[in-house]
Amino acid sequence: MFKIILVAFMLLGNSLFAIDATMQIIKKKRTLPMISVSIDNTVSNKAISNKVASLVQKDLIVSGHFNNSDIKFDNNFNDTVKFKTIGSNGIDLYLLLQTKNSLQKGIIINTKLYDINTKQLVLSKSYSTSNKTRYPFLAHKISIDINKYLNAPSINWMDKFVIFARYSKSRKSQIVIADYTLTYQKIVVSGGLNIFPKWASKKQENFYYTTYKYGKPTLIKQNLYTRKIDKILSSDGMIVCSDVSSDGKKLVLTMAPNSQPDIYIYNTETKLKKRITKYRGIDVGGSFVENDTKVVFVSDRLKYPNIFAKSVDGGGVERLIYHGRNNSQCTTYKDYIVYSSRETRNEFSRNSFNLYLISTKTDYLRRLTINGRNQFPKFSSDGESVLFIKNDSRGSHLGIIRVNYNKSFLFNLKSGKLQSIDW
C-alpha cells in the first residue's frame, strides 16, 4: 500500500504573464545583446576561472535576455580594452573576469563589464566566498548584476538554493542543497529514507522533510545552518508537507492515519491540524492557490488521478482539469497551476509525461513540454520559471522552463536519482 500511495503522491507543490519583454537593453537596438565573456590572461588558476566564465555564459542564456559570443579576447585585466576590435565582431557587451585565491580555501572574482557601443566601463565589482566550492553562486551573482544593468526582468532566483531528495540505494535517500545547475551540491540530511524536502520560507533557513528513521513516517523541520531538528508530527501510513503558506504559518500536509490519505492544514503556531478532505480514496499533494484561500490537490475521485480544488474554509470540491486521463503532480503560483499529465497508456513500457499550465480564473491551457517523462513541477518564487524532474535512459535530470521565453534547459544529476525537489 505504501508503494502505491508513494507513487500516487509524488508531486510537489510561485507575475507570470504580466511581463511584456520590452527591455531597454541597448539604446536603439531591438535584438538581444551579444555578450563575450573572457578571463584575465595573467591568471594562474585558469581551471576555476574557465568554470566561472562557463557558468556565467550559461546563466545569461538561461535568462533569455542575452546571446553569447564564442569569440574570446586576450586581455590583461588592467589593460585598455580594444573597443573597435571587439565591436567589429558584433559584440555589444564584454565581460572580463579575474580570479584570485583568498585566505584558506576562499576565492575572489573581480569583474569588469564594458558596453562596447558606448565605449564605457559600466560595471566593476568584486565577489568573494570563503569556500571555493561555492563558486557557482559567485557566477550566478555576476549574471544577476549584468542582468540588472540592462534593466531586464529579474533573475534573482539563480542565487537561490535548490533542495532535493536523492535516492542512493534501496530505502536510502539523502537531502541535498544545490545551485540550480547542480554544479554545487552539499548533503544536509543522510542516513535512512529521507524524502519530500520543502523550504519553510523564502529565506531558505529552514526546511521540512519526511523521514522513516523513527519507526513511522515523521515530519521534521531542520535548520539549514545550525542543523537543529524539530519533530513536527508523526502519522501511520504517510505524512508529507507539500506546501507552505506565504506567511510560513500554515502547512499543507498529506496524512494517512487510517490508510487512506487526505489533505490537512497544520497551523505551526497553535500546533493544531484541520482536515480538508474526507474522501474514501486518495487525496494527496495539496498546494495553496488564490492567496492561500484554496488548496489544489490530486485525487482519484474519477477513478484516475486528476486535479481538484477546495476552499480552506470548507465547501464542495471543484474539478480543475478536463484534459487528459492521468493528471498529477501539480504546483501553484498565485492563480496558476502547472501539472504533469500522462500522454500514453502503455502498461509495459515507459510512458510519456508532459507539463501543462492552466489558470484557475480562465480557460487558459498551455503545453510546456513536448516529449519524455517530465514530472514533479515546481514554480520559482517569482513564477517566471518552472523546475521539474526528467528521467530517461541517460539518467536523472533537473529541468528548468523559462515560461515567458518558451525555452527549457536540462542539468544532469551525476549520481543517484532525483526523488523530489523544491526551490
pLDDT, tens digit, for every residue of 157-173?
A: 999 999 999 998 888 89
Question: 3-class DSSP state for residue 117?
Answer: coil
pLDDT band at 327 (very low <50, low <70, confident <90, very high): very high
- Which string of DSSP letters, residue by residue, matches 283-332? EEEEEEETTTTEEEEEE-TTSS-EEEEEETT----EE---S-S-EEEEEE
User: Which pLDDT score is estimated for 347?
Assistant: 54
Domains for the chain: give ranges and CATH numbers.
2-18+156-422 (2.120.10.30), 34-149 (3.40.50.10070)
Query: Does residue 19 carry a pLDDT above 50?
Result: no
Helices 135-149 and 46-63, axial angle in degrees (round to 10): 50
- What pLDDT, on the 0 to 100 scale, is given for residue 20? 29
* Angle CA 115–117–120, to nearest 5: 45
Determine the average pLDDT of the residues in 107-114: 96
Instruction: Please count the CA atoms within 13 angstroms of the CA of 213 that sit on its side-chain side.
Output: 15
Give the HSE-up count for residue 197: Cα atoms under 13 Å, Cβ half-sphere.
32
Q: Is pLDDT of 349 > 80?
A: no
Average pLDDT over residues 309-335: 91
CB-based contacts of 52, cutoff 8 Å, min separation 6: 39, 97, 99, 109, 135, 138, 139, 142
pLDDT at 350: 67
pLDDT tops 80 at residue 231: yes
CA–CA separation, 236 and 227 (whole Å): 26
pLDDT for the residue 345: 66
Statement: residue 12 has pLDDT above 50? no
Higher pLDDT, 330 or 395: 330
Q: Give yes or no for residue 381 having a pLDDT over 90.
A: no
Computed over every residue of the chain, the mean pLDDT equals 89
Instruction: State the cell numbers at 114.
Output: 564594458
What confidence score (pLDDT) does residue 79 get? 87
Please name the amino acid found at residue 376.
Answer: F
